[in-house]
């Protein structure tokens, strides 16, 4: 049995808590390794070491820190194939999709290479007589990231690349379901020249997360995962005086107007709904065709497109998607399919009971399609996070647009149309954080920033981009005067610039 250790001070460190989590191969359902689960004492040890390491790293000039990012980017490119295969072996997504996972993280590393430019402060000469005012951006110190299973490369890189380039030390508590790629990221950072102790990987579950949330030396927590946990992390971390950004779950809608290019729409939505077995927070699991004609045509073409998908093991280059993450998650998704049936939606394609020859115990679910879903159904209100596309029919654009706006989640939404004015109005009014116009998965590029609204995000700064720099730095503002010897009156009133 392979053991996956913590990565502390540049070294592989076996766990001492005596607790372990099983790592499955989702393609076979077999246990392939076990991961150490940290105790509070182990978290504290990693944090204390990071505090020591951060002092020097924070004092290193920004350009030298950026050079580590340049070298890291080159190493990620060099090791892309190896990382992608490793990622797929624990997550189950197909290897080409794992490369996308790494590439989207690498793009944040590219952004981080230019961070010195964003660390420059502001300066006002002569804000008052002989007075200059300037502001500095300084690192917070030691910060932590807690990440989900579904993007084990991209999301740790969203956070850590920005945090490190800003001069912080970073403690990563990755998902305990697929922890190997995060450890490799730590090894590659050391190879890129990052000093030991500045990036620590500590594995664990709730016990480790709770220790981070209350630790007095952790200045900020970045979390991505499901909404209930995100809200808990936000509330607990904030109550302990930390800056917290906590991204949660999603239920993204794709609105299809009658004038849209339906062939393109079906091509886009089939990938966005079923890619990565639907286990993406920016997946598109709800389609809303406007008008009965559009709905009938969409269902007909989507049924053919979904039926033609190949579900396979993650190393199958022909497969469109692989298994879901665990037996428990497969059972949960299948229970939601049954719920949809019980609630009265039309089950057009049923992906339950899919068995792959030679991989009968793998966690595979075939493409599932529901028509005539309604907003009252619980299976619509909840995030399913599986290869299940639900179609809600709407009569008008207003009715369609109200659905994502009124939904509890507000991560992403897409509108498919040739009508620029309708799209523009929609963008202006929709109550959702990230919008695509004829783009099914509108994940912003690395120099913008990522964040949903409502139950999809707690906290007020987005991931990566300039918001990331704001999150991982604090502003110090200096008001400076060099007295010229002319001693003025004693001042008992608050200084003003009158
Ligand atoms: P999860 O909430 O189960 O786990 C996320 C992290 O929280 C993990 O590191 C886990 O160890 C930890 N955790 C789990 N239970 C905990 C508890 N009770 N107390 C403290 N910590 C706990 O999420 P997941 O299943 O790994 O990931 C899927 C979810 O993440 C989906 O809801 C998906 O939409 C969401 N997600 C959101 C975004 C986004 O940016 N909004 C991106 C990716 C995934």
Number of domains in the chain: 2
Same structural domain, 234 and 374: no
Same structural domain, 73 and 219: yes
Ligand 1, atom nearest to 329 Cα: 25
Where b means 16+ CB within 10 Å and e means fewer, 183-219 reads bbbbbbbbebebbebbbbbbbbeeebbbbbbebeebb
Is 402 a domain residue?
A: yes
Same structural domain, 54 and 111: yes
DSSP codes, 401-438: HHHHHHSSEESEEEEE-S-HHHHHHHHHH---SEEEES
Is 484 a domain residue?
A: no
Same structural domain, 32 and 168: yes
Is 491 a domain residue?
A: no
CATH for 384: 3.40.309.10
Is 451 a domain residue?
A: no
Tens digit of each residue's pLDDT, the chain (498 residues):
899 999 999 999 999 999 999 999 999 999 999 999 999 999 999 999 999 999 999 999 999 999 999 999 999 999 999 999 999 999 999 999 999 999 999 999 999 999 999 999 999 999 988 899 999 999 999 999 999 999 999 999 999 999 999 999 999 999 999 999 999 999 999 999 999 999 999 999 999 999 999 999 999 999 999 999 999 999 999 999 999 999 999 999 999 999 999 999 999 999 999 999 999 999 999 999 999 999 999 999 999 999 999 999 999 999 999 999 999 999 999 999 999 999 999 999 999 999 999 999 999 999 999 999 999 999 999 999 999 999 999 999 999 999 999 999 999 999 999 999 999 999 999 999 999 999 999 999 999 999 999 999 999 999 999 999 999 999 999 999 998 877 666 677 777 776
Ligand 1, residues at Cβ distance < 6 Å: 146-151, 173, 175-176, 205-206, 209, 224-226, 229, 247-250, 281, 383, 385, 411, 452, 456
Same structural domain, 94 and 147: yes
Q: Residue of the nearest CA to atom 11 in ligand 1?
A: 205
Same structural domain, 238 and 387: no
Is 448 a domain residue?
A: no
Q: How far is the CA of 479 from the centre of ligand 1 (A)?
A: 43
Same structural domain, 327 and 424: yes
Is 387 a domain residue?
A: yes
Q: How far is the CA of 246 from the centre of ligand 1 (A)?
A: 10
Q: DSSP class of residue 445?
A: P
Query: CB–CB of 432/281 below 8 Å?
Result: no
299 alpha-carbon distance from chain centroid? 31
Same structural domain, 25 and 121: yes
Report H helices in 114-252. Answer: 154-165, 180-191, 206-214, 227-239
Catalytic center residues: 281
HSE, CB side, 13 Å, CA atoms: give it for residue 97. 29
Same structural domain, 180 and 258: no
Q: DSSP class of residue 152?
A: T
pLDDT single digits (tens) 317-364: 999 999 999 999 999 999 999 999 999 999 999 999 999 999 999 999
Is 495 a domain residue?
A: no
pLDDT single digits (tens) 366-400: 999 999 999 999 999 999 999 999 999 999 999 99
Ligand 1, atom nearest to 225 Cα: 30
Containing structural domain, residue 165:
2-248+456-477
- ipTM, two decimals: 0.99
Same structural domain, 232 and 347: no
Is 447 a domain residue?
A: no
Same structural domain, 431 and 465: no
Q: Residue of the nearest CA to atom 40 in ligand 1?
A: 247
CA distance linking residue 246 with residue 452, whole number of Å: 10
CA distance linking residue 458 with residue 452, whole number of Å: 9
Same structural domain, 220 and 300: no
Q: How far is the CA of 225 from the centre of ligand 1 (A)?
A: 2
Q: How far is the CA of 295 from the centre of ligand 1 (A)?
A: 34
Q: What is the pLDDT of residue 489?
A: 65
Q: Residue of the nearest CA to atom 16 in ligand 1?
A: 206
CATH for 469: 3.40.605.10
Percent of residues in the chain assigned helix, strand, coil, to nearest 5: 40, 25, 35
Using alpha carbons, select from 153, 220, 186, 217 the residue that is nearest to residue 469.
Answer: 220
């Amino acid at each position: 049995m392979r053991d996956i250790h913590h990565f502390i001070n540049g070294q592989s460190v076996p766990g001492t808590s005596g607790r372990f989590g099983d790592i499955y191969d989702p393609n076979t359902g077999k246990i392939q390794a076990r991961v150490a689960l940290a105790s509070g004492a182990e978290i504290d040890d990693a944090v204390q070491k990071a505090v020591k390491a951060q002092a020097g790293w924070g004092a290193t000039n920004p350009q030298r820190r950026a050079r580590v990012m340049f070298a890291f980017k080159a190493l990620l490119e060099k090791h892309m194939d190896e990382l992608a295969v490793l990622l797929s072996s624990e997550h189950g997504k197909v290897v080409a999709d794992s490369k996308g996972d790494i590439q989207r993280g690498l793009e944040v590393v590219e952004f981080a290479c230019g961070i010195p430019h964003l660390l420059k402060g502001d300066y006002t000469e002569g804000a008052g007589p002989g007075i200059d005012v300037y502001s500095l951006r300084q690192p917070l110190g030691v910060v932590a990231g807690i990440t989900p299973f579904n993007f084990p490369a991209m999301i740790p890189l969203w956070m850590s690349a920005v945090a490190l380039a800003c001069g912080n030390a970073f403690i990563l508590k990755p998902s305990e379901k697929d922890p190997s790629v995060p450890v490799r990221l730590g090894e590659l950072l050391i190879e890129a020249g990052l000093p030991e102790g500045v990036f620590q990987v500590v594995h664990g579950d709730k016990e480790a997360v709770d220790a981070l949330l209350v630790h007095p030396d952790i200045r900020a927590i970045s979390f991505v995962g499901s909404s209930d946990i995100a809200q808990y992390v936000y509330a607990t971390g904030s109550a302990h005086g930390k800056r917290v950004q906590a991204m949660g779950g999603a239920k993204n809608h794709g609105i299809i107007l009658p004038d849209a290019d339906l062939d393109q729409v079906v091509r886009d939505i089939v990938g966005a709904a079923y890619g990565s077995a639907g286990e993406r927070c920016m997946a598109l699991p709800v389609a809303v065709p406007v008008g009965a004609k559009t709905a009938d045509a969409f269902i007909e073409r989507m049924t053919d497109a979904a039926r033609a998908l190949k579900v396979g093991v993650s190393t199958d280059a022909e497969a469109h998607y692989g298994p879901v993450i665990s037996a428990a998650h497969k059972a949960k998704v299948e229970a939601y399919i049954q719920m949809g049936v019980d609630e009265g939606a039309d089950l057009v394609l049923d992906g339950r009971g899919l068995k792959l020859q030679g991989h009968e115990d793998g966690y595979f679910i075939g493409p599932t399609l529901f028509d005539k879903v309604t907003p009252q159904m619980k299976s619509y209100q909840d995030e399913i996070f599986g290869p299940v596309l639900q179609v809600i029919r709407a009569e008008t654009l207003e009715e369609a647009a109200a659905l994502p706006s009124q939904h509890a989640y507000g991560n992403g939404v897409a509108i498919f149309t040739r009508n620029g004015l309708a799209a523009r109005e929609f963008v202006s009014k929709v109550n959702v954080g990230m919008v695509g116009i004829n783009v099914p998965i509108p994940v912003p590029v690395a120099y913008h920033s990522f964040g949903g609204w409502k139950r999809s995000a707690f906290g007020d700064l987005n991931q990566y981009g300039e918001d990331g720099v704001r999150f991982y730095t604090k502003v110090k503002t200096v008001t400076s005067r060099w007295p010229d010897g002319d001693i003025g009156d004693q001042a008992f009133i608050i200084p003003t610039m009158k």
